[in-house]
Amino acid sequence: MAEARKMGKTQLFAHFADKFEMKRTQVREVFDELAALAEKELKKTGEFTLPGMVKLSVQKRKARMGRNPATGDAIKIPAKTVVKARILKQMKDAVLPRR
């Protein structure tokens, strides 16, 4: 059985260029602007939603104690801020089999 291959940036841009009869450079500009908008909104409001696909949110994690898996020693994990991605229900339902 043939192994499925991931779609890279080049293939993604080529797909949209063909689908919407645009130049690849124009498609790249659209994606760059989408990324810039997501970054701006995350900084401003802490959330960005790509409708029907994914919701990005800023999450502050508290400092906590953890374990070094190699030695078992207790270590302090510092507080940090992360960006969390959550797949929206519409996308999950379309991709994952129903139980």
Residue 91: which CATH number? 4.10.520.10
Residue 56 and residue 47 in contact, taking contact as beta carbons nearer than 8 Å:
yes
Whether residue 72 lies inside any domain: the answer is yes
Tell me the H-state helices in 3-69: 9-19, 24-45
- Model pLDDT for residues 55-99, shown as the tens digit of each residue: 999 999 999 999 999 999 999 999 999 999 999 999 999 988 877
Residues 58 and 92 in one domain: yes
Residues 23 and 65 in one domain: no
Residues 40 and 53 in one domain: no
What is the total count of domains within the chain? 2
- CB-CB neighbours of 83 under 10 Å: 13
Whether residue 3 lies inside any domain: the answer is no
Whether residue 57 lies inside any domain: the answer is yes
How far is 98 from 91, CA to CA, in rounded Å?
Answer: 13
Tell me the residue range of the domain where 63 lies: 46-99
Whether residue 90 lies inside any domain: the answer is yes
Confirm whether pTM is higher than 0.85: no
- Model pLDDT for residues 27-40, shown as the tens digit of each residue: 999 999 999 999 99
